[in-house]
Structure 1
Amino acid sequence: MSSARDDDAVQDGVGEPDAFERLWTPHRIVYIKGENKPESSDEVDCPFCRIPQMDDAEGLIVHRGEVAYAVLNLYPYNAGHLLICPFRHVADYTDLTADETAEIAELTKQAMRTVRAVTRPHGFNLGINQGAVAGAGIAAHLHQHVVPRWGGDSNFLPVVGHTKTMPQLLGDTREMLAAAWPGEPEN
């Protein structure tokens, strides 16, 4: 008896088989369609304004400071990809207060130290994309990316297959980084 999984099994009407394997990632369609992007630049629609109102685990917050916080990127480039966001809804780096600028810089340093201690990356990409044309997915609320990098993490899969494999669930990554963050652990 033959099953649909046998190598010799052919599904009628699907055309000629090719040499490609398929890695199905249907969860990515939300990001591709922009379903979580705010409809406007107002604070009401801003995910970076809503996240601090959530429980840390639900919002993927790793650490809360006085005027800024560290949160996992919902659509990470690599495992441990953090965003450092001011609590205040502000779009432009030049509009940050001195306290916001200082704490974003300090949280960036803490993020790098914490990720290094936990996952041993070979390097980091740090950056702020100012404006949609510069690549900011949510341009209305400033956020700095802290992306851990490892040798060989940019293999053929994202380039050819437009797919990124993630070795750990976001909730597990959040727990691990929050526990290792310097100071008192957050809830």
Structure 2
Amino acid sequence: MKTLWTPWRMEHVLGKAGTVSGCIFEPPGDAAQDGETLLLFRDPRVVVLLNRFPYANGHLLVAPSRHLAELSDLSPGEQAALMEMISRCCTILRRVLQPQGLNVGLNLGKVAGAGISDHLHFHIVPRWEGDHNFMTVCADIRTIPQHIVATFALLAPHFST
């Protein structure tokens, strides 16, 4: 039997992960990228973060820069910018990580599954045949084949152009 190690997730699994002051979709400063906050892209309308507690390797979060909870609160320009960035993210993930598919979704409201319900955000999750197995079902643990810092380093250059 092979042993699968994902020790960096243990704090999250046990509910001991540190809390972030403020909203994760509004990282401090004005840098377009930041490895510490896993910020891959920021402009006046959109932010893209690598999910710190991913469902799969390369799990991205795409959000409006403004703190909004509802789609109906977005301006037409923000709606267009979000969809353009979601499309760009899908292109980058397909080119860099070569997944066999992608899940793209949005949960509005806590009961709908939004972990952060007051700042709407889309999830883009790369998928591969057999990428999840019994571990998630039996132990509520996911195995991610690449360290998040390495994934950030692979993706970051594609968001700076």
Q: TM-score, normalised by structure 2?
A: 0.85
User: Aligned residue for 2:12?
Assistant: 31
Paired with 2:16 and 2:79, the residues of 1 have a C-alpha distance of 29
1:97 corresponds to 2:78: no
Q: Deviations over 1:163-184 (max 9, x none)?
A: 1111112121112112133x62
Contact 2:46 2:65 in 1 (8 A): yes
Q: Please, which of 142, 145, 151 is the counterpart of residue 167 of structure 1?
A: 145
* Equivalent pairs, count: 159
Unaligned runs of 5+ in 2: none
Q: Which residue of 1 aligns with 2:23?
A: 46
Say if 1:103 and 1:66 are closer, same or farther in 2 by CA, change over 3 A. Answer: same
Distance, in Å, in 1 between the alignment partners of 2:143 and 2:74 is 35
Over 3 Å counting, the alpha-carbon distance change for 1:126 and 1:51 in structure 2 is farther
Q: Distance in 1 between matches of 2:116 and 2:109?
A: 8
Once the 2 structures are TM-superposed, how far is the Cα of residue 46 of structure 1 from its aligned partner?
1.7
Following TM superposition, by how much is the alpha carbon of 1:107 offset from its aligned partner in structure 2, in angstroms? 0.7
- Cα 1:131–1:116, aligned 2, differ >3 Å: closer, same or farther? same
Judged with a 3 Å threshold, the aligned counterparts in structure 2 of structure 1 residues 27 and 117 are, in CA distance, closer, same or farther, namely: closer
Report the residue type matching 1:30 in the other structure.
E
Give the Å deviation of 1:37: 5.5
State the shift of 1:23 in Å.
Answer: 6.0
Whole-angstrom CA distance in 1 between matches of 2:141 and 2:134 = 9
For 1:159 and 1:58, the matched residues in 2 are separated by 31
8 Å CA contact 2:5–2:143 kept in 1: the answer is no
CA RMSD across the alignment = 2.5
Alignment of 1:79-158 (within 5 A): 79-158=57-136
**CA distance, structure 1, for counterparts of residue 156 and residue 121 of structure 2:** 19
Read off the aligned partner of 1:127 and give its amino acid letter.
Answer: G
**Any conservation in 2 of the 1:68–1:86 contact (CA below 8 Å)?**
yes
- Alpha-carbon distance in structure 2 between the residues aligned to 1:76 and 1:141: 18
Question: Post-superposition shift, 1:69?
Answer: 1.4
Shift of 1:120: 0.8
Cα deviations by residue, 1:13-39 (Å, 9 ceiling, x for unpaired)? xxxxxxxx986756435334274557x
Structure 2: distance between partners of 1:36 and 1:136: 19
Per-residue CA deviation, residues 124-148 of structure 1 (Å, 9 max, x unaligned), is 1111110110011110111100000
Report the counterpart of residue 56 of structure 1 in structure 2.
Answer: 34
Write the letter of the residue equivalent to 2:38: L
